[in-house]
Amino acid sequence: QSALTQPASVSGSPGQSITISCTGTSNDVGGYDYVSWYHQHPGKAPKLLIYDVSSRPSGVSNRFSGSKSGNTASLTISGLQAEDEADYHCSSYTSSSTFVFGTGTKVTVL
Amino acid sequence: QVQLVQSGAEVKKPGASVKVSCKASGNTFTSDYMHWVRQAPGQGLEWMGIINPSTGSTNYAQKLQGRVTMTREKSTSTVYMELSSLRSEDTAVYFCARAPFKARLDCWGQGTLVTVSS
Protein backbone atom coordinates (compact mmCIF):
# COMPACT_ATOMS: atom_id res chain seq x y z
CA GLN A 1 0.00 0.00 0.00
CA SER A 2 1.60 3.26 -1.11
CA ALA A 3 1.40 6.35 1.05
CA LEU A 4 -1.15 8.98 0.07
CA THR A 5 0.42 11.97 -1.70
CA GLN A 6 0.57 15.33 0.08
CA PRO A 7 2.57 18.44 -0.81
CA ALA A 8 5.79 18.58 1.16
CA SER A 9 5.15 22.12 2.32
CA VAL A 10 2.50 24.84 2.29
CA SER A 11 2.87 28.34 3.65
CA GLY A 12 0.67 31.34 4.30
CA SER A 13 0.50 34.62 6.16
CA PRO A 14 -1.50 35.10 9.36
CA GLY A 15 -5.19 35.48 8.60
CA GLN A 16 -4.97 33.82 5.20
CA SER A 17 -6.51 30.50 4.20
CA ILE A 18 -4.49 27.55 2.98
CA THR A 19 -5.48 24.17 1.58
CA ILE A 20 -3.58 20.90 1.84
CA SER A 21 -4.34 18.13 -0.62
CA CYS A 22 -4.20 14.37 -0.05
CA THR A 23 -4.33 12.22 -3.18
CA GLY A 24 -4.92 8.50 -3.20
CA THR A 25 -6.78 6.03 -5.37
CA SER A 26 -10.22 4.51 -5.72
CA ASN A 27 -9.04 1.81 -3.30
CA ASP A 28 -8.64 4.25 -0.46
CA VAL A 29 -9.55 7.96 -0.51
CA GLY A 30 -11.92 7.67 -3.45
CA GLY A 31 -13.65 4.56 -2.22
CA TYR A 32 -14.53 5.41 1.37
CA ASP A 33 -15.62 8.40 3.43
CA TYR A 34 -13.06 7.51 6.10
CA VAL A 35 -10.47 10.22 5.58
CA SER A 36 -8.96 11.77 8.69
CA TRP A 37 -6.58 14.66 9.24
CA TYR A 38 -4.08 15.14 12.08
CA HIS A 39 -1.62 17.84 12.99
CA GLN A 40 1.59 17.26 14.89
CA HIS A 41 3.82 19.77 16.61
CA PRO A 42 7.53 18.94 16.96
CA GLY A 43 8.19 16.22 19.51
CA LYS A 44 4.49 15.69 20.18
CA ALA A 45 1.92 13.05 19.33
CA PRO A 46 -0.47 13.70 16.45
CA LYS A 47 -3.86 15.25 17.23
CA LEU A 48 -7.10 14.50 15.39
CA LEU A 49 -8.54 17.50 13.50
CA ILE A 50 -11.03 15.98 11.05
CA TYR A 51 -12.59 12.52 10.70
CA ASP A 52 -14.96 10.94 8.19
CA VAL A 53 -13.84 13.51 5.54
CA SER A 54 -15.43 16.58 7.09
CA SER A 55 -16.44 16.02 10.73
CA ARG A 56 -14.69 17.86 13.56
CA PRO A 57 -14.21 16.40 17.04
CA SER A 58 -15.48 18.56 19.86
CA GLY A 59 -12.88 21.11 20.90
CA VAL A 60 -11.32 21.48 17.45
CA SER A 61 -11.55 24.97 15.99
CA ASN A 62 -14.02 25.52 13.14
CA ARG A 63 -11.12 27.13 11.25
CA PHE A 64 -10.31 23.59 10.18
CA SER A 65 -12.51 22.03 7.51
CA GLY A 66 -12.28 18.96 5.32
CA SER A 67 -13.68 17.90 1.97
CA LYS A 68 -13.22 15.30 -0.73
CA SER A 69 -13.57 15.11 -4.49
CA GLY A 70 -12.85 11.87 -6.27
CA ASN A 71 -9.54 10.45 -5.11
CA THR A 72 -8.37 13.69 -3.48
CA ALA A 73 -9.21 14.91 0.01
CA SER A 74 -8.44 18.42 1.21
CA LEU A 75 -7.93 20.19 4.52
CA THR A 76 -8.51 23.93 4.62
CA ILE A 77 -7.23 26.11 7.44
CA SER A 78 -8.86 29.51 7.49
CA GLY A 79 -7.69 32.51 9.49
CA LEU A 80 -4.17 31.07 9.70
CA GLN A 81 -2.53 31.55 13.09
CA ALA A 82 1.04 31.16 14.31
CA GLU A 83 0.02 28.11 16.36
CA ASP A 84 -1.07 26.35 13.16
CA GLU A 85 2.57 25.92 12.18
CA ALA A 86 3.00 22.14 12.37
CA ASP A 87 3.10 18.97 10.30
CA TYR A 88 -0.22 17.79 8.87
CA HIS A 89 -1.04 14.19 8.02
CA CYS A 90 -4.01 12.66 6.21
CA SER A 91 -5.16 9.07 6.58
CA SER A 92 -7.63 6.83 4.80
CA TYR A 93 -9.25 3.46 5.22
CA THR A 94 -8.43 1.07 2.36
CA SER A 95 -10.03 -1.77 0.42
CA SER A 96 -7.74 -4.20 2.27
CA SER A 97 -9.38 -3.24 5.57
CA THR A 98 -6.17 -1.47 6.53
CA PHE A 99 -5.26 2.19 6.83
CA VAL A 100 -2.72 4.35 5.06
CA PHE A 101 -1.24 7.73 5.95
CA GLY A 102 -0.14 10.52 3.68
CA THR A 103 3.43 11.66 3.11
CA GLY A 104 2.90 14.63 5.43
CA THR A 105 2.88 18.40 4.87
CA LYS A 106 4.82 21.03 6.77
CA VAL A 107 2.78 24.19 7.24
CA THR A 108 4.73 27.40 7.73
CA VAL A 109 3.14 30.63 8.92
CA LEU A 110 5.08 33.47 7.35
CA GLN B 1 -11.11 10.99 29.96
CA VAL B 2 -9.05 8.29 28.25
CA GLN B 3 -5.29 8.44 28.57
CA LEU B 4 -2.77 6.16 26.92
CA VAL B 5 0.58 5.65 28.64
CA GLN B 6 3.31 3.82 26.76
CA SER B 7 6.42 2.04 27.97
CA GLY B 8 9.84 3.66 27.88
CA ALA B 9 12.49 3.98 25.20
CA GLU B 10 14.31 0.86 24.00
CA VAL B 11 17.65 0.20 22.33
CA LYS B 12 17.91 -3.09 20.46
CA LYS B 13 20.45 -4.84 18.27
CA PRO B 14 19.62 -5.89 14.72
CA GLY B 15 17.80 -9.21 14.69
CA ALA B 16 16.34 -8.78 18.15
CA SER B 17 12.69 -8.22 19.10
CA VAL B 18 11.01 -5.38 20.96
CA LYS B 19 7.70 -5.30 22.82
CA VAL B 20 6.04 -1.95 23.51
CA SER B 21 3.11 -1.59 25.87
CA CYS B 22 0.24 0.88 25.92
CA LYS B 23 -1.92 1.13 29.03
CA ALA B 24 -5.34 2.75 28.77
CA SER B 25 -7.11 4.51 31.59
CA GLY B 26 -10.86 4.99 31.51
CA ASN B 27 -13.64 2.46 31.07
CA THR B 28 -13.69 2.07 27.32
CA PHE B 29 -10.83 -0.41 26.79
CA THR B 30 -12.91 -3.21 25.31
CA SER B 31 -15.16 -0.94 23.26
CA ASP B 32 -12.41 0.91 21.39
CA TYR B 33 -10.07 -0.25 18.67
CA MET B 34 -6.36 0.37 19.17
CA HIS B 35 -3.99 1.27 16.36
CA TRP B 36 -0.20 1.25 16.26
CA VAL B 37 1.53 3.88 14.14
CA ARG B 38 5.24 4.58 13.80
CA GLN B 39 7.31 7.52 12.65
CA ALA B 40 10.92 7.20 11.54
CA PRO B 41 13.17 10.21 12.20
CA GLY B 42 12.15 13.13 10.00
CA GLN B 43 9.53 11.02 8.20
CA GLY B 44 5.75 10.79 8.01
CA LEU B 45 3.44 8.49 9.89
CA GLU B 46 3.24 4.81 8.97
CA TRP B 47 0.24 2.68 9.93
CA MET B 48 1.28 -0.65 11.42
CA GLY B 49 -1.92 -2.40 12.43
CA ILE B 50 -5.06 -2.51 14.53
CA ILE B 51 -6.35 -4.69 17.35
CA ASN B 52 -9.86 -5.09 18.70
CA PRO B 53 -9.24 -5.39 22.46
CA SER B 54 -12.61 -7.02 22.99
CA THR B 55 -12.02 -9.97 20.66
CA GLY B 56 -8.26 -9.84 20.17
CA SER B 57 -8.69 -9.83 16.40
CA THR B 58 -5.96 -8.02 14.48
CA ASN B 59 -5.15 -6.68 11.04
CA TYR B 60 -1.60 -5.74 10.09
CA ALA B 61 0.04 -3.70 7.37
CA GLN B 62 1.14 -6.04 4.62
CA LYS B 63 4.70 -4.70 4.84
CA LEU B 64 5.01 -5.92 8.45
CA GLN B 65 3.13 -9.23 8.14
CA GLY B 66 5.12 -11.98 9.80
CA ARG B 67 7.16 -9.59 11.96
CA VAL B 68 4.51 -7.75 13.99
CA THR B 69 2.20 -9.13 16.66
CA MET B 70 -0.40 -7.15 18.58
CA THR B 71 -1.98 -8.53 21.72
CA ARG B 72 -4.04 -7.30 24.63
CA GLU B 73 -4.45 -7.99 28.33
CA LYS B 74 -7.98 -7.12 29.42
CA SER B 75 -7.24 -7.35 33.14
CA THR B 76 -4.79 -4.43 32.96
CA SER B 77 -6.32 -2.55 29.99
CA THR B 78 -3.02 -2.88 28.16
CA VAL B 79 -2.22 -3.57 24.53
CA TYR B 80 1.16 -4.71 23.29
CA MET B 81 3.02 -4.43 19.99
CA GLU B 82 5.91 -6.80 19.39
CA LEU B 83 8.18 -6.38 16.37
CA SER B 84 10.73 -9.06 15.59
CA SER B 85 13.81 -9.39 13.35
CA LEU B 86 14.58 -5.74 13.93
CA ARG B 87 16.66 -3.82 11.40
CA SER B 88 17.98 -0.28 11.35
CA GLU B 89 14.97 0.88 9.31
CA ASP B 90 12.74 0.04 12.29
CA THR B 91 14.28 2.88 14.29
CA ALA B 92 11.28 5.10 14.97
CA VAL B 93 8.88 6.51 17.51
CA TYR B 94 6.02 4.08 18.00
CA PHE B 95 2.57 5.39 18.96
CA CYS B 96 -0.56 3.65 20.10
CA ALA B 97 -3.85 5.40 19.36
CA ARG B 98 -7.36 4.50 20.38
CA ALA B 99 -10.28 4.66 17.98
CA PRO B 100 -13.84 4.52 19.33
CA PHE B 101 -14.80 4.15 15.69
CA LYS B 102 -12.25 2.27 13.63
CA ALA B 103 -11.14 5.22 11.49
CA ARG B 104 -11.18 7.89 14.20
CA LEU B 105 -7.87 7.95 16.10
CA ASP B 106 -8.84 10.46 18.76
CA CYS B 107 -6.41 9.78 21.58
CA TRP B 108 -2.72 9.00 21.21
CA GLY B 109 -0.04 7.73 23.54
CA GLN B 110 3.07 9.80 24.16
CA GLY B 111 5.21 7.67 21.86
CA THR B 112 8.04 5.20 22.49
CA LEU B 113 11.42 5.62 20.79
CA VAL B 114 12.88 2.34 19.58
CA THR B 115 16.46 2.54 18.37
CA VAL B 116 17.97 -0.36 16.45
CA SER B 117 21.74 -0.19 16.39
CA SER B 118 24.65 -2.55 16.56
Q: If you average pLDDT over residues B32-42, what whole number do you get?
A: 96
pLDDT in tens, A9-66: 999 999 999 999 999 999 999 999 999 999 999 999 999 999 999 999 999 999 999 9
Tell me which residue of A73, A75, A71, A43 sits closest to A61, measured CA to CA.
A75
pLDDT in tens, B51-96: 998 899 999 999 999 999 999 999 999 999 999 999 999 999 999 9
Q: Do B47 and A99 touch (CB under 8 A)?
A: yes
Among chain A residues, the shortest Cα distance to B41 is held by: A43
CB-based contact A24:A36 (threshold 8 Å): no
Binned at pLDDT 50, 70 and 90, residue A6 comes out as: very high
Binned at pLDDT 50, 70 and 90, residue B30 comes out as: confident
The pLDDT score that the predictor gives to residue A95 is: 96
Which residue in B59, B106, B111 is closest to A57 by CB distance? B106
The amino acid present at B82, given as its one-letter code, is: E
CB-based contact B7:B97 (threshold 8 Å): no
Interatomic CA distance for residues B95 and A35, integer angstroms = 19
Binned at pLDDT 50, 70 and 90, residue B29 comes out as: confident
Which residue in A57, A89, A97 is closest to B45 by CB distance? A89
Mean pLDDT rounded to a whole number for chain B? 95
Q: Do B108 and A47 touch (CB under 8 A)?
A: yes
Tell me which residue of B22, B57, B24 sits closest to B36, measured CA to CA.
B22
The pLDDT score that the predictor gives to residue B76 is: 92
The pLDDT score that the predictor gives to residue B1 is: 79
Interatomic CA distance for residues B5 and A21, integer angstroms = 32
